[in-house]
Chain A
Amino acid sequence: MIWSLYSPIAGYSVNIFLLLGLGGSVGFFSGLSGVGGGFLLTPLLIMAGIPPTVAAATDSNQIVASATSGAYAHYRMGSVDFKMGLLIFAGGFVGSTVGVEIIKFMREVGEVDFFIEVTYVVLLGILGFLMMADSINCLLKKKGVSGSIDKSKKRFFHDRLFQALPWEMRFNKSDVTLSPILPVFAGGFAGMVAAILGVGGGFIMLPTMCYVLRMPMHVVVGTNLFQEVLVCANITAMQAITNHTVDLALALILLSGSTVGAQFGARLGHKLNADYLKLVLASVVLLVMVKILVELTFSPDLMLGIKGGR
């Protein structure tokens, strides 16, 4: 069978069309709905037989490509807050380094596969239900403004708490004044999760930027993509140096599928109802979550596993 790609790091052959299809469809969904595809691609790679550690590390590498592509487009539109992005990355650098070390430790104790899978069940479960609830809510309202996030300017207790933090800084691009502790802390948490799961961390940073950092919507996506490039580049370097789990051969096929798929998805997204698309994506996310959960709940076919993954 010549249409297989041999992954030298995983020591395993995978069908090239399957990889292109996975990368392309996740990129397509990503471009269609506007959410990052990392959280979906890693579990799909695991299902295709790629060991979880290799899947997560390689996915981080391919996110560098897709996020660079997106960040460049936003940079041209002038919607990237570099100052904020660099502060988030400062936290993300520490967080992602800690995340890689957690993976190394879990690998040594032989629980890395279980750890990644359980974290995915929780993440995909929360994300899938929130997306589904949001899309159903929007479909029910119908008359509401689609695609925009209602950004309340109402001041809550946490707003007052955040304002009490020291060393306030002015972020002209985002038109906000806040303590750098907040973006550094949020970046640190997102970076840690990103390193463990092989995702960009956008699902944490986007709502954080909107609702905690109070950044305007037009700079949120571009700034998030900019920090994702830096954080995922750090994760790729750390995974390559510490765990030797980044597979360039695999990443090249995936990124060629996902970058092109994302562009087609983005073009089609303008023509279709965004709420129905979000509903479809939510269903896919929940299906993947259920599949992993079933595997964790029902008696496995094999009662022994190789310590530290294959």
Chain B
Amino acid sequence: MKPEKHISKLVLCVPAALFFLLISIPLYAASSKLILNPDLVRVGALYNGTRINLSAEIPRECDVIVEIMGRDIKEAVVQKVRRLGLWMNGGEIVVRGAPTLYLALSSEPALLTSPSIGALWGYEALKKRVSFSGHIKEVENDRIFKEFLQLKESLQLYGIFPGVLKVSSSSGNRSTVKGSFTLSSNATPGSYQVFLSVIQNGELLFRESAPLKVIMVGFPELVYRMAKSHAVAYGFLCIMIAALAGLVVGLVFAKSKPHKE
């Protein structure tokens, strides 16, 4: 091989390598590895919700919003109405586009509380996605949305937590963001997504997500699977267990206490 050929290859490779390096630096700067601990939640017999820690590396002088979301579902809710002095269920409203779970956490409180910036994330952003139909007038949308949020918050399925994420400076031009959130026991087993939005000067720099899975294990999983898939066998099993338990208690106490005719 001629030395000129080596030189010409080198001449081509060096700028190419430099080009890829130049491209990857901003790509690296605009990336973050979102880590959830745990990212798989096991719902066992003694489960009462769980605390999930999250951490990520982000570019310096950026703010962060983390959203934990379930899949969008069509859901029927009923309005409370007063009839004959008693509060009962009234007209049915069908809710579309509302996620089963929505939790939003931010490093800068204003990102979720300020009406101007908050419109991009949090409840204001959610409001744009959710639609209502059924026993509702157009003018009632705002009120119903507020009441829908109250219902979901009471079940600990929706929540806004401004300023709970802590950003600390890390090596070089990177910062570390850390935080945690509680996943309520009301959150049904299934797949959830955790979205991390990195914001610089009020503008979205990039967004990435990580999956969060909730699965039922052990006794609850057995009970749930039997109750839903083998209802007849499950019903008879419940009866047999209860009858046997009653008989055993009856026998134990009958032995310890003589009966009087």
Contacts and interface: CB of A to CB of B under 8 A. Distances in A.
A246 B233 CA distance: 12
Q: Which one of B44, B188, B247 has the greatest number of beta carbons of chain A within 10 Å?
A: B247
A240 B240 CA distance: 13
A291 to B, nearest CB: 14
B235 interface: yes
A12 B242 contact: no
Interface stretch (A205-213, A247-255, A273-281): A247-255
Interface string B42-63: 0111111100000000000000
A33 interface: no
Given A3-B46, A240-B238, A304 B150 contact: yes
A111 to B, nearest CB: 5
A234 B248 CA distance: 21
A236 B46 contact: no
A142 to B, nearest CB: 25
B239 A61 contact: yes
A85 B225 CA distance: 35
B235 A297 contact: no
Q: Is the interface of A mostly helix, strand, loop or mixed?
A: helix
Given A4-B47, A236-B235, A240-B231, A304 B77 contact: yes
A68 B46 contact: no
B192 to A, nearest CB: 15
B78 A73 contact: no
Size class of the A contact interface (CB-based, 8 Å): 35 or more
B220 interface: yes
A5 B46 contact: yes
A304 B188 CA distance: 20
Contacts, number: 197
A140 interface: no
B253 interface: yes
B155 to A, nearest CB: 7
Contacts of B224: 8-9
A305 B227 contact: no
A283 interface: no
B235 A255 contact: no
Contacts of B234: 240, 246, 248
B76 to A, nearest CB: 4
Contacts of A3: 46
A275 B33 CA distance: 70
A259 B155 CA distance: 32
Contact of B250 (A73, A238, A298): A73
Interface residues of B, number: 60
Nearest to A77: B259
A169 interface: no
B46 A64 contact: no
Interface string B147-188: 110110011000000000000000000000000000001101
A304 B80 contact: yes
25 contacts: A4-B46, A6-B220, A7-B220, A8-B216, A8-B223, A9-B224, A11-B185, A13-B47, A64-B246, A68-B246, A69-B246, A69-B249, A69-B253, A236-B235, A236-B242, A240-B227, A240-B234, A240-B238, A247-B223, A249-B220, A255-B246, A304-B78, A304-B147, A306-B76, A306-B151
Interface of B: 43-49, 75-80, 85-89, 92-93, 144, 147-148, 150-151, 154-155, 185-186, 188, 216, 219-221, 223-224, 227-228, 231-232, 234-239, 241-243, 245-247, 249-251, 253-254, 257, 259, 261
Given A64-B242, A68-B245, A296-B87, 19 more contacts: A6-B220, A61-B242, A64-B238, A64-B239, A68-B247, A69-B246, A69-B249, A72-B247, A72-B250, A110-B76, A114-B86, A236-B242, A237-B236, A238-B235, A246-B238, A248-B237, A296-B88, A303-B80, A307-B76
